[in-house]
Amino acid sequence: MTLHKEGIKLILGGLFLAALSIILNVLFLFENFPVLASIIVGLSLVILILIIQFFRIPKRNKSYEKNEIVCPADGKVVVIEETEETEYFKDRRIQVSIFMSPLNVHANYYPITGRLVYQKYHPGKFLVAWHPKSSTENERTTMVVKDDSGREVLIRQIAGAVARRICYYGEIDSSVEKGEELGFIKFGSRVDLFLPLDTNIDVNIGDNVKSRLSKIGILN
């Protein structure tokens, strides 16, 4: 396991605050208020542990089938439906949405290999990530990857009520690999996939999935 680069400053800040809390409590509280001091120190350490686990990146290795759509995020499948995609395709697509709780790994990955043909950041609201309008009204980034057969998959990172920063790394017209990191969303959020209507879907609503390991489906 490694720690994500987006969390280094927060982790260092958490270490500093935890150390400061312990020192101040030892100097001023432990002698007269040992219970209160223990609670404060305990909370400081719990917060530090939560920050560290949030930015963890577990080692995952897997070989992929050519037409396999790899899961882009850890979390729970909350939407599988045919819907109108209005930003890029402007037609009907299968939407698969994955909700990431604060306890999930929050790095995001490309689901297919191809060329990054579209990328756009949208400022917006911070509705809870499972809200039906979060896909079109929340802060979000949309990316589209086209494979060598001309099939396109849209990936949308969506901020939630707690998430306040979306990070994305790709450059337009660059080649991307299935399972390669595309970005990171801080503190609770959602990732939507918009897939061709003839895609074979291999997940169900309520499934807990893992990025770079779970198979979302097969492109036809």
Q: Known catalytic residues? A: 189
How far is 13 from 168, CA to CA, in rounded Å?
A: 23
Q: Under 8 Å CB-to-CB from 213, ≥6 apart: which residues?
A: 60, 62, 71
